[in-house]
Structure 1
């Protein structure tokens, strides 16, 4: 269409030129031709604008064509990817179908065994409920027993604390008694007289040479002095029992009037010492004489030195333990 407009315009221009060059024309015809020329120029300008617009539209269309071509290529590529995804999806669908079929078969198999399994599970449940009930009963019984043991333990702890208190007081009393006796007998030689604590008791050990002549049952004046000081120290100790033990060596007694053997000698000496202590002020009900003879030696040898150590009198001072025994009896 644009090419046709340009051809018409050129044709008219050519005619006008020919007319002007070939011959003279009338004014009216000239005006018509001039008017046509103006119209042709106007049409030519419009045609140029249309041509420019058409060229612009053509460039735009070419650009759109390029974009559409790219989009087409992308669609072709996406179509390929979509085809691959579709085939993969179909494979997954096939796998899922197979899995479903297997699950269906397993379900049918489980359903066929469900009755037997349900019966077994029901039996197990009943058994476990019975066991749980028994365990619960045992737990309650154990809790009662634990509560009882807890009460007993608390009671025992209280008695133990009380026992420890009494023992501590006893030990304190024994130490005080030992100190009092030791202070009362400070003037005597260590080899003649010793004061020790053993098994919660105070042992006053007096050697034979301090108390008696060999084979005699009469206490020498030095020995009487020691016994009187001991009695004075023990006066007022109403909670202390006194045991007097006579000990001899293993040499048999011979040619001593009225004494048959070492048993007899040890008893007579213990009795004599008991008399002196009670005459000096001790309560006779709290003093007990005892003869051990040669049965409890402090030295097992048969040397003169060992036998001299074995010939002794031990005065054993024992604090009363009534409160301690009362606590022990409650256990």
Structure 2
């Protein structure tokens, strides 16, 4: 899982796209988004809310379908959608491990253009499907966060905090990750390992997988802290699991923020509260906005301006860190129904011909108020 509230700088990797002629006047763009979970998941709810606000501003008919979280449920739902009548103009979805090829084949057969967000494709799948536009011409775009960078930057923040409080002491680390078949989890683990290798006097005791489940993370952390009692850095691949680590640490008499330093990924509401209270040191995030940016890019593509000519078809977003020094200002700007206050029309190059590039930075979001 992940949970977040803003986007940082974006690195664009050029790949060819599939041009589509301008839309007929008065026609609404029909987009279906497959939310991989059921309602109530903080990250996917935040992503969907941001996406719906963008669709409303851009006059897009967005249908959200929930897959429910099962391993094959999202790809099965994609088959159903792509065989429906009428079909959507575009399908937006999260790449599923060993299932993305099935989804792309179905979209190709249905001649429905698809746009993947939020997760990279694992190497074994990438061999089969390639990049957007390579094997599947109706796969027009893929936007996903740099999870290696997120895992590394989170680890470095935690290691520096430990070093500041315990100078000269070896910083022992344990990591609790998501699921083994998640590209995001695997990449975040790689980032953690990279940070440990470059940070002096640091020891990575163990990384375990908890399937994104905070209760499982709590149980596994309890066992790891008994096995490695000198551990001071607890790294989690999500905020929810980081909060499970907080509970486990307290149960063993540890004080988060004082003798153990914990952080996660997602910018979840609960995670940000924990940062403000000192239980978590930091959270990486920003990737929940990708659904909204997909709406902007599909709007422009549908109206004859192919985003790949400016951005490429494979788009990497960089996560940013929220810590005690900036958490209050962030929460002030992004409280309540903040997405409804953003004018997403300001990000469109079709609606703003003077825009020389797409800018999905946090600064641009803060400057895009409807007021």
TM tier, smaller: under 0.3
Structure showing the higher strand proportion among its residues:
2
* Structure of higher CA gyration radius: 1
Structure showing the higher helix proportion among its residues:
1
Return the TM-score normalized by structure 2. 0.22
Higher relative contact order (Cα pairs below 8 Å, separated by 6+ residues)? 2
Return the TM-score normalized by structure 1. 0.24
